[in-house]
Structure 1
Amino acid sequence: MPSKKRVSAPTIEKAARSAKIPPSLSVPRGVKTWKEAADWLRARGIEDIECITPDLAGVPRGKMMPSSKFTSNTSLALPSALYRHTISGDYPEETGNFRYEPRDSDLKLVPDLSTLSVVPWESDPTAQVICDIVGSTGESVPYTPRNVLKNVVSMYRERGWKPVVAPEIEFYLVAMNDDPDYPLHPPKGRSGRSIQGGQGYSIAGINEFDELIDDIYHFSEKQGLEIDTLIHEEGPAQLEINLRHGDPIELADQVFLFKRTIREAALKHGIYATFMAKPMQGQAGSAMHIHQSVVEIETGRNVFSNPDGSASREFFHFIGGMQVYVPKTLVMMAPYVNSYRRLTPDMAAPVNNAWGYDNRTTAFRVPVSDANARRIENRLPGSDANPYLALAASLGCGLLGIMQGLEPSAPTEDTANEGSIDLPRGLLEAVSLLESDPALEDVLSAEFIGLYAGVKRGEFETFMQVISPWEREFLLLNV
């Protein structure tokens, strides 16, 4: 696959020596203890630290403080209502199982020191750390995104397994536009012209934004984030970053930070980076494809393969589970009204729940690989999805298939995108499906499902208050 390789830059070891940082503290990302955290911050002259956590939309929320206060056993708290507002900042009315905490009591931020890294685009020395959320007395909070994913991973661990994932994130670069009534359009590259569509895998298309991409790599290296490859996709100024496979929580953390990193690098060059699923009419949408496999913790053996190299029953049950349950959890992979504009026929996105070998028209593709690397690619999630929730849903659906011994359909040999659409066609239908099956509560929790459904219904009601250009064009003088 053609890729844009990182430009030469000082190695971490050289940078550490030049900054007189001890080798034991030269790692760009993560420490084990609070003592190491204090030394790590002091060695870099860090003045401020951002304590962040993803909300339901995957937006970073949290607090900033001086680094000296961070390491002095300070208690950090956020209101529980933070997980009950919509993407537009509204607070929906209570309905069904969607309820506000009566006292709007505090939730505590618990820093995960393994995620400690610098914030390379800040002018003052600044660090960041991703935080878990617990209740005011330390109790588990099941509805926060990182905890939802952690619960799914723990269910695999109880069986002696560890899921392995590799996300692929597509996004568009667009010219700055401060008026939401006007359509987006591609930015100008180094040639002085706006790049057009049809540039899939074009190295020249990537080179149009060389300096911006160099900053993405530079910012990523400073944070200890690893990019596998970068390509130009089909849309105009649409790029895709592939991440190396690994632990689901670590990879969700990376996607969470990558989105922030890419936006900041783009702003530095006077460009927007957007992860909307469908930012431009008539152009391909942006996906977050997820490659998934499962390995035994003790042996590292791929659970999807038998000793003789053939596909295991767990492999087929995992696919069966995805076919049954992914349509019911699609709202976690396609979370907005705009998401369903991507999931339409003839727009390079699957609109089915079929599977097949090396078949990109199916929702669940099995790439060509040897037995050790046997995996299943979920091609349904959009890049607008919260990575923690998309991974939790995808892995949870596969696990339900294994637990219930679900058999998949026959693999699709030809195109799967002709005929009926086998997925929810809009946000409200998808929300109802999430609430329809009690089995989903076993992996996602009833509390999360009720809260998430209420927020999504609130977002739909906010959307319905907006009159679109289509309505003005075709209804204004005709009805």
Structure 2
Amino acid sequence: MPPAKKEARPTGRAGRVRVPAYVKNLRGVTAWKQVSEWLEWRSIEDIECITPDQAGVARGKMMPSKKFTSNTSLALPSAPFMMTISGDYPEDGNGFSYPEDDGDLKLVPDLSTLSVVPWEEDPTAQVICDLVHQDGRNVEFTPRNVLKRVVAAYGKRGLRPVVAPEIEFYLVRKNPDPDYPLVPPVGRSGRPIGGGAGYSIAGVNEFDELIDDIYHFSESQGLEIDTLIHEEGAGQLEINLRHGDPVELADQVFMFKRTIREAALKHDTYATFMAKPIQGQPGSAMHIHQSIVDKKTGRNVFTDETGKETEAFRHFIGGMQKHVPNALVMFAPYVNSYRRLTQAASAPVNTKWGYDNRTTAFRVPRSDPAARRVENRIPSSDANPYLALAASLACGLIGMTKNIEPDAPVGTTVNEDEIDLPRGLLEAVDLFENDEDLRDMLGSSFASTYAAIKRAEFETFMEVISPWEREFLLLNV
């Protein structure tokens, strides 16, 4: 029997095979039938199916690409999403209970996030997944679903949030022993990097090759960097992302963190998103710019037809002033986070707002009326981007639905004033648990799970004896 004829593929001029446009997409396809061609065109061997846990760490499974496209059912236990940063599990109580069966949750790939993994030697792809129960219901306590829940709450009111995150981070010398403090890296000049290099081009140029890799890795994944600058800290950089849909931007921050860490490791350096990694140096923030659009008209609801501020704008700020302190545990999720939120340390210490005032928690940047937005300057860079965006947008929406009026704007320096944010993790958890409006907006299952994890992390921290205790208590008490 003669061999079967291969199905003819579309050809262009000169008999060349015509490649469908979606195959060349750097990021994402729209249907499963496109996945095989996308992978085959790049000779992809393996694919990472990943999803963010409560800390924003990538969890998931790796498999051969052929298995991925063969209707394989993907599953993960619920345990990774109830785990502390140290790998422990919280005790039952206060509304939280660990499931006795630890049954499987289904991973559902979001094909719009499909991209290559540029730092892998073997051709590898990655895709971000959502989690659902076996019957198809969304898993309420997973971070990506929490953010989707908040975005859907806006959608029910005919609104669409638009965000633009800015992420600060430090480059530091490799530090395999956690007992030793972190120190700035050595740049191409051969000298340790010093502080006070805010917006310095020379400061950025110290890491030219590393930054080139960040750009190349990002471009390969279809991630768009708006700007990159050197911040005030020694070896501290900031990346700004273009504005867009909250879930898409959270996905990008999630991927950027992986990308930046991998680029740094390639150059024998660590990249850290700790809020306060080096004593005496500025902390690292994740500022979030936010505006709200009417889905029908496409108009920014913070601005009326005459270009003036609207009630929605004021109520959004009012909601943030009232509820952000209760949501602080989602913006400052670790004990270390509260070391950044101190007076006169280039970080907010209260809930005041102002026009182009960088000492406030909520800054309204100078812009055209159509681009009017509110910048939340409280989140630290260690925050899970999905949860930080969810909390910030939730606080604003509560203000808009309950018509919460803000205080008067301030034009003076206010980050040296009295601190009226929670001063530590446990206080923040208490406020979070008692805010019924936030619990309703974010989901009761998530709120109970997240609070339990944070309490357990605090207890783990309390088991560690710090250098301060050895220095001042060892021989003096």
TM-score tier, shorter chain, comes to over 0.9
Matches within 5 A, 1:235-254: 235-254=233-252
Kindly indicate whether residue 249 of structure 2 is the aligned counterpart of residue 264 of structure 1.
no
Q: In structure 2, what is the equivalent of residue 13 of structure 1?
A: none
**Whole-Å Cα distance in 1 between the matches of residues 146 and 208 of structure 2?**
38
* CA-CA distance at 1:24 after TM superposition: 3.5
Q: Contact 1:21–1:44 (CA<8 Å) still a contact in 2?
A: no
Q: In structure 1, what is the equivalent of residue 160 of structure 2?
A: 162
Gaps of 5+ in 2: 1-15
Q: In structure 2, what is the equivalent of residue 123 of structure 1?
A: 121
AA paired with 1:325? H
**Among residues 302, 305, 308, which one is paired with 1:304 in the alignment?**
302
* CA-CA distance at 1:295 after TM superposition: 0.5
Q: In structure 2, what is the equivalent of residue 6 of structure 1?
A: none
AA paired with 1:422? D
Matches within 5 A, 1:223-238: 223-238=221-236
* CA-CA distance at 1:299 after TM superposition: 1.6
**Among residues 31, 42, 47, which one is paired with 2:29 in the alignment?**
31
TM-score (normalizing by structure 1): 0.95
Q: In structure 1, what is the equivalent of residue 88 of structure 2?
A: 90
Moved more, 297-306 or 59-68: 297-306
AA paired with 1:465? E
* CA-CA distance at 1:95 after TM superposition: 2.0
**Whole-Å Cα distance in 2 between the matches of residues 425 and 61 of structure 1?**
31
Q: In structure 2, what is the equivalent of residue 398 of structure 1?
A: 396
Kindly indicate whether residue 76 of structure 2 is the aligned counterpart of residue 99 of structure 1.
no
**Whole-Å Cα distance in 1 between the matches of residues 218 and 395 of structure 2?**
31
Q: In structure 1, what is the equivalent of residue 387 of structure 2?
A: 389
Q: In structure 2, what is the equivalent of residue 356 of structure 1?
A: 354
AA paired with 1:150? K
DSSP 3-state at the match of 2:34:
helix
Q: In structure 2, what is the equivalent of residue 4 of structure 1?
A: none
Q: In structure 1, what is the equivalent of residue 4 of structure 2?
A: none
Q: In structure 2, what is the equivalent of residue 70 of structure 1?
A: 68
**Whole-Å Cα distance in 2 between the matches of residues 21 and 66 of structure 1?**
23
Q: In structure 1, what is the equivalent of residue 12 of structure 2?
A: none
Q: In structure 2, what is the equivalent of residue 12 of structure 1?
A: none
**Whole-Å Cα distance in 2 between the matches of residues 191 and 38 of structure 1?**
47
Task: Evaluate the alpha carbon distance shift between residue 72 and residue 244 of structure 1 in structure 2; reply closer, same or farther with a 3 A threshold.
Answer: same
Moved more, 140-149 or 244-253: 140-149
DSSP 3-state at the match of 2:249:
helix
Larger radius of gyration: 2
AA paired with 2:203? G
Q: Write out per-residue CA displacement over residues 365-387 of structure 1, whole angstroms, 9 at most, x where no aligned residue.
A: 00001111000000000000000
AA paired with 2:76? L
| Count of residue pairs the alignment pairs up | 462
TM-score (normalizing by structure 2): 0.96
Gaps of 5+ in 1: 1-16
**Whole-Å Cα distance in 1 between the matches of residues 258 and 410 of structure 2?**
37
AA paired with 1:285? G
Q: Contact 2:346–2:415 (CA<8 Å) still a contact in 1?
A: no
Q: Write out per-residue CA displacement over residues 42-64 of structure 1, whole angstroms, 9 at most, x where no aligned residue.
A: 11100000000000000000000
DSSP 3-state at the match of 2:410:
coil
Q: Contact 1:165–1:248 (CA<8 Å) still a contact in 2?
A: yes
Q: In structure 1, what is the equivalent of residue 275 of structure 2?
A: 277
* CA-CA distance at 1:478 after TM superposition: 0.3
Matches within 5 A, 1:71-220: 71-220=69-218
Percent sequence identity is 72
Q: Contact 1:321–1:406 (CA<8 Å) still a contact in 2?
A: yes
**Whole-Å Cα distance in 2 between the matches of residues 381 and 20 of structure 1?**
47
Q: In structure 1, what is the equivalent of residue 336 of structure 2?
A: 338
**Among residues 260, 283, 291, which one is paired with 2:289 in the alignment?**
291
Q: In structure 2, what is the equivalent of residue 325 of structure 1?
A: 323
Q: In structure 1, what is the equivalent of residue 5 of structure 2?
A: none
Q: In structure 1, what is the equivalent of residue 426 of structure 2?
A: 428
**Whole-Å Cα distance in 2 between the matches of residues 140 and 129 of structure 1?**
18
**Whole-Å Cα distance in 2 between the matches of residues 441 and 180 of structure 1?**
36
AA paired with 1:378? N
**Whole-Å Cα distance in 1 between the matches of residues 240 and 230 of structure 2?**
12
Q: Write out per-residue CA displacement over residues 79-133 of structure 1, whole angstroms, 9 at most, x where no aligned residue.
A: 1111111000011221211210121111110000000000000000000000000
DSSP 3-state at the match of 1:329:
helix
**Whole-Å Cα distance in 1 between the matches of residues 180 and 18 of structure 2?**
51
Q: Write out per-residue CA displacement over residues 174-220 of structure 1, whole angstroms, 9 at most, x where no aligned residue.
A: 00010000000011111111110000000000000000000000000
**Among residues 24, 42, 45, which one is paired with 2:43 in the alignment?**
45
Q: Write out per-residue CA displacement over residues 237-261 of structure 1, whole angstroms, 9 at most, x where no aligned residue.
A: 1000000000000000000000000
Q: Contact 2:164–2:249 (CA<8 Å) still a contact in 1?
A: yes
Moved more, 454-463 or 437-446: 437-446
**Runs (4+) off by over 4 Å:** 19-22
**Whole-Å Cα distance in 2 between the matches of residues 460 and 97 of structure 1?**
18
DSSP 3-state at the match of 1:273:
strand
* CA-CA distance at 1:318 after TM superposition: 0.1
AA paired with 1:174? V
* CA-CA distance at 1:21 after TM superposition: 5.3
Q: Contact 1:364–1:378 (CA<8 Å) still a contact in 2?
A: yes
DSSP 3-state at the match of 2:47:
strand
Task: Evaluate the alpha carbon distance shift between residue 61 and residue 20 of structure 1 in structure 2; reply closer, same or farther with a 3 A threshold.
Answer: farther
Quote the RMSD (CA, aligned, Å): 1.1
* CA-CA distance at 1:34 after TM superposition: 0.6
**Whole-Å Cα distance in 2 between the matches of residues 24 and 71 of structure 1?**
17
Q: Contact 2:230–2:236 (CA<8 Å) still a contact in 1?
A: yes
Q: In structure 1, what is the equivalent of residue 220 of structure 2?
A: 222
**Whole-Å Cα distance in 2 between the matches of residues 452 and 445 of structure 1?**
11
DSSP 3-state at the match of 2:215:
helix
Moved more, 310-319 or 87-96: 87-96
**Whole-Å Cα distance in 1 between the matches of residues 317 and 160 of structure 2?**
17
* CA-CA distance at 1:23 after TM superposition: 3.5
* CA-CA distance at 1:159 after TM superposition: 1.0
* CA-CA distance at 1:300 after TM superposition: 1.0
**Whole-Å Cα distance in 2 between the matches of residues 121 and 220 of structure 1?**
10
Q: Write out per-residue CA displacement over residues 414-449 of structure 1, whole angstroms, 9 at most, x where no aligned residue.
A: 111233101000000000000112111221111111
DSSP 3-state at the match of 1:267:
helix
**Whole-Å Cα distance in 1 between the matches of residues 345 and 254 of structure 2?**
26
AA paired with 1:158? K
Q: Contact 1:47–1:126 (CA<8 Å) still a contact in 2?
A: yes
Q: Contact 1:171–1:273 (CA<8 Å) still a contact in 2?
A: yes
Matches within 5 A, 1:411-450: 411-450=409-448
**Whole-Å Cα distance in 2 between the matches of residues 418 and 31 of structure 1?**
49
